[in-house]
Structure 1
Amino acid sequence: MTSVSRRMTAEADARRVVISAIFGTLATQAIGAATRLDLAERIGDTDAGAAELAAACGLPAEQLTRLLRTMASLGLCAERASGRFVLTEAGALLRRDHPASLLDFVKLMTHKVFQRNWLNVDDSLRTGLPAFDAEHGQPVYNYMSGRPELAALFHAAMSRRTRPPETAEAISAAYDFSRFGTVTDVGGGDGTLLAALLARHPQLSGTVFETEAGVARARETIAASGLADRCRAVAGDFFTEVPEGADLYFIKNVVLNWNDEPAVTILRRCRAAMPGHGRLLIVEPVLPDLANVDTLNHAAVENPYLTDLHMLVTLGGRERTGAEYTALLARAGLRVTAITPLAAEINASLIDAVPDTDVPV
């Protein structure tokens, strides 16, 4: 290969990186449209014709065919014969009945309420404040509290995204729960993950600590899991106080929702509630020390830097490196003893911390 050919190949590869990244937003909108039309459900287990799918969707066949071919180009379906489509393994994840369904997560992430924030990412970069608040006049959780359907979609999406049984299995394999008798899940959502952990560790009794709305869902989960004798749901505000006395305090995907000052407040409340022998286990993504394509775990499902920016524009939160977590926890009177990456598909690490006895509560 000549030097000119090498240069042209390198330039073509560079252009592909930029253009593929830019076209990502177009793919997002196409997939969102497909989920709102329930295309995966309509295609089902066999091949389906564009004309019949269009009739079911109430759209012209020509336009739906264009969407279906776009989905095929993204690897979500395949055109086996002209105008006839079958789901791929990836496309099947957009069905409701798939055990690993991502339908709710896709619907949430492509919802116009959340997509619109990205149009104002420049403002968030300038101010460090969430674009969501400026766009909608209130923080995201307040906004959802007045919109039950959106809140239900959010909680369903988060549960599906984290895949509680698989996550509980991965956490249990990487962490010794046999030392503990009681665990409090701070900001534990609907209690699905704690229920999965309790099912694996029969010596544990648990508390889901959540808002009033979260507690209502958690009590349903606890009852459905047959854990009423070992688990309870308690309502409260983790900026004010956390239930006292548990051997282990467990937080998953909570600290990243907040910038440093509110995050330290939450961690201080946990520290104040902990007995001397207590521990805190945080389960969240941990960013590499250096940001470049070579440092990323390419088996991971999500790009952590895109989710970090999503935290900024939506919540004003952030993802952190191991050193940043260590410094954050130190401000709250906690000392990190270990940071253990979980399997790439879980997209998280375990941050194990103990009370720092040299720091007053």
Structure 2
Amino acid sequence: MASNRSKVPPQALLRVIEFARNSMAGLHRRLVPGHIALLEMIVAGFLTQAIHAAAALGVADALADGPRNGAELARATGANEDALHRLLQLLTSHGIFARRSDGKYTLTPMAQALRRDTSVSLRDTVLFFGSPMHRNHWTHLVDAVRTGETVGTDLDGMSFFDYVRKDRELGELFDRAMTSIGTLATEPLFAAYDFGQYGTIVDVGGGQGTLLTEILSRTPTSRGILFDLPEVVASAPARLAELGLADRCTVESGSFFETVPKGGDAYILKHIIHDWSDDKAKQILHTLREQMPEDATLLLIELVLPEDNRPHPGKFIDLEMLINVGGRERTEDQYRDFLAASGFTLVRRIPTVAPDNVLEVRPS
């Protein structure tokens, strides 16, 4: 399964740690001169590209079997030894790799997440966010802010989702990146919400079924329906059979702008609504409202922006949505109003220790 089912720390503890971390960061910004604090933020982009270079070179994979010196690591990655040393002196200073007293480089917990063969790997996420297309889009943030429109159509001649469907190498990297990000929230999600209360669960836009198969493995009395575009779910039946879930999960294909499977007790939309403009998102919700039973529950799994000014991952992702797909992140009140306009009532919001929340929604 996608997750290693590790123990999830209590939400209260993580909230205290988050508060302390944000307080210390805020104190640092107030104590140093403003231009120094700003410069530190500016060069943070260099670190992002350095991490991308390490992932693209396969440095973490080359260290999977044990420590190596610079010459050995350069040969294993096909890199210039001096240039690789210069890259790693930045990354080791931030704890992403470590260098021992004998000069050999080793993996750290962060570097482990750059390996391609770990249960929770962010390698594909790093490669996607550092890809030329993604970097190019972000250089046009000023255009997106001026116009309020996504930049992809002008730059690529088509929408983001059409582009990654056409360029399958990039599209498959994007799919893997989104799957790897999704695995980070798996344990927090199951720690916070009981999916076993539903008999038939429909995962709308569920991709290859990573979330749904995890749900079914933990809730043996539930059945599932995986729904996504035909090309997305084409290989899903074979995967379900491999996992021993073929008798409890069916696969249907189509566009959620037009239809969704009927007869579900719960309908999951995980990181779907935030991908689309208000009009498109309302179209998706209208389809759900027309097709799902009156007594069914809609479960939106999304980031929810805080109402205050504290740092939050959703504020980064909100700009990502603006630049690339024209979607947006929302606060709880914005979701409540948005859902009401689409014929739904937000019953409750269930936070997790990850940035994700479960929005439990029912037809009005």
Q: CA deviation at 1:15?
A: 4.1
Hey, what's the Cα distance between the residues in 2 that align with 1:97 and 1:77? 17
Matches within 5 A, 1:133-212: 133-163=153-183, 167=186, 169-212=187-230
Aligned residues of 2:29 and 2:37 also touching (Cα < 8 A): no
Q: CA deviation at 1:82?
A: 6.4
The alignment partner of 2:234 has SS state of helix
1:98 and 2:118 are equivalent in the alignment: yes
Q: Render the CA deviation track for 1:203-238: whole Å, top value 9, x for unaligned.
A: 211111100111113223322221111111111011
1:58 aligned partner, one-letter code: G
When residues 10 and 147 of structure 1 are mapped into structure 2, their CA distance, relative to the original with a 3 A threshold, is closer
Unmatched tracts of structure 1, length 5 or more = 1-7, 297-302, 357-361
Q: CA deviation at 1:335?
A: 0.3
Aligned residues of 2:57 and 2:79 also touching (Cα < 8 A): no
1:271 and 2:281 are equivalent in the alignment: no
Q: CA deviation at 1:259?
A: 1.6
Hey, what's the Cα distance between the residues in 2 that align with 1:152 and 1:44? 25
When residues 216 and 67 of structure 1 are mapped into structure 2, their CA distance, relative to the original with a 3 A threshold, is same
1:324 and 2:309 are equivalent in the alignment: no
The aligned counterpart of 1:233 is: 251
Hey, what's the Cα distance between the residues in 1 that align with 2:91 and 2:149? 35
Aligned residues of 1:258 and 1:316 also touching (Cα < 8 A): yes
1:37 aligns with one of 46, 54, 57:
57
1:215 and 2:233 are equivalent in the alignment: yes
Whose relative contact order is higher, 1 or 2, with alpha carbons under 8 Å and at least 6 apart?
2
Aligned residues of 1:250 and 1:281 also touching (Cα < 8 A): yes
Aligned residues of 1:65 and 1:83 also touching (Cα < 8 A): no
The aligned counterpart of 2:276 is: 258
Matches within 5 A, 1:262-341: 262-293=280-311, 296=312, 303-341=313-351
When residues 267 and 148 of structure 1 are mapped into structure 2, their CA distance, relative to the original with a 3 A threshold, is same
Q: CA deviation at 1:38?
A: 0.5
Q: Provide the TM-score with structure 1 as the length reference.
A: 0.88
1:113 and 2:123 are equivalent in the alignment: no
Over the aligned positions, Cα root-mean-square deviation in angstroms equals: 2.0
Hey, what's the Cα distance between the residues in 2 that align with 1:232 and 1:65? 51
Q: Render the CA deviation track for 1:97-155: whole Å, top value 9, x for unaligned.
A: 22221111111111111111000001111222212222111112211112222222122
When residues 308 and 52 of structure 1 are mapped into structure 2, their CA distance, relative to the original with a 3 A threshold, is same
Q: CA deviation at 1:87?
A: 1.6
Hey, what's the Cα distance between the residues in 2 that align with 1:179 and 1:53? 51
2:342 aligned partner, one-letter code: A
